[in-house]
A and B are shown apart, each in its own frame.
Chain A
């Protein structure tokens, strides 16, 4: 019985995806149980083929027309059979210990979502948790771009990034998955806030040194602006401003 399923929504960047999968499977080798991967091919100009992703644990779900990240993830989850899900971006390369540590944290009492510290290739912090600013600042990555080391195995936040996010499938389905109104970006933060509304905790774990290049897919950044407007419309005044 597989325990963990990775859902990777990806468009193009075949080699990046190959390394992402390689690191994922290396990390999965440290687990007792086997894993599976659903790759949602979000309209790559040259579709991914089974032969280019030569691993029987991988299933490819092809979309001919580019779909919103949230919808692509939700569709991918429908194909999963495992209880634990991990959403990964194709530019996240996990560390060997990452999955093991994240799974440990996801078993803590009351924990709904587990994120991970992520690092840029030069060693600076890309993500250690998402905090919220005043007024129109909204959510942002804490300590992004700084050289920092984790001081504890996990910390609690209001949200973590969807670039590397672990959640139970039952909870994911109970909440109706990611909100598909978001074009691209902030559907993960929206999801985490809803998880907390349902009484579960969101934590960010020190899970080795996974790397995240961040925003590599072409055309991704332009979609952030409408997502941010939508997010603030939904959530303004409903989250805590972090000190």
Chain B
């Protein structure tokens, strides 16, 4: 599946040090494919690592040439649709006990060397896995809103304690106990810096590729679940306070992503199930920052009033409507126009 291309020289310093005060050593593993634009910054930021393995997937640009300018072990592998599926193979090849996985469009800060050293000194014996927050930069903006930050990632771990499955952007399997996982809480801690996408168009393009190349289960399909997940994503990602207009755009793309994944899954299973159930759900917008009431909301309100007319506790309802009338006289006008006999106090 893969063939080693060039091996770096490794100095076996371990034998010269006693086990007790041995420095904890790190292997950084980077998967690349046509990564010439982002790779130099990443490799600059991990120069301090004891070993750096670059696994290239048949790049046609200067990726390999750039990698060889640094002190790295360059390995080649054939192109795969999902990089997570082959991560485990290369973790096995690391010489050191601790592994730091980075993607080619990520990098670390200037103080990362010191921070990683501090982490391993403090927790190296009592923890197996570090969950590290990540800054995501999308369309020129670093996202601070919900759903995008702190975006904890399992990247720094003891060899053998994490196993990836063959999928895209799924959490890996953690082969340790929860108390041996250290979650770094911002502010003031090590971060991964991720330049995700230059533009919304590129973001849409990538999401579509991920969706088309992902693996979908052979049973248990429910389009309702995908639609519900779309609403969930929209609600989670919408955070205008922190990210402004871009938050709306990206929340919309993420919701769309869930729906198209549902459709891809549906087609892969031979279009057996009905899609229409999904839209018979009593779904409404779940924006936490409603800007205005749409005409359809008035209809909804009217229907609710009708339904409640026959229910005990009408006085409570009248109170509710009265309070609404004070605030939204226009809505009340529309309700009156419907001509329903509804006595107002």
Contact = CB atoms under 8 A, between A and B. Distances in A.
Contact of A75 (B110, B140, B191): B110
Interface residues of A, number: 15
Given A64-B115, A65-B115, A66-B188, A47 B110 contact: no
Contact of B140 (A43, A45, A51, A66): A51
User: Which residue, B110, B112, B189, has most C-beta atoms of chain A within 10 A?
Assistant: B110
Interface residues of B, number: 17
A62 B110 contact: yes
B135 A47 contact: yes
Given A64-B112, A65-B115, A75-B110, A46 B191 contact: no
A66 B188 CA distance: 6
Interface string B159-191: 000000000000000000000000000011111
Contacts of A43: 187-188
Contacts of B193: 47, 62
Given A43-B188, A45-B187, A62 B109 contact: yes
Contacts of B298: none
Contact of A65 (B111, B140, B141): B111
B142 interface: yes
Contacts of B82: none
Contact of A49 (B110, B140, B144): B140
Which secondary structure dominates chain B's binding surface?
loop
A64 B144 contact: no
B137 interface: yes
Contacts of B135: 47
Interface string A59-103: 001111111000000010000000000000000000000000000
B187 A61 contact: no
A52 B137 CA distance: 12
B110 A61 contact: yes
Q: Count chain A CB atoms within 10 A of each CB in B111, B137, B141, B142 and give the residue with the most.
A: B111
A45 B144 contact: yes
Contacts of B141: 49
B190 A65 contact: yes
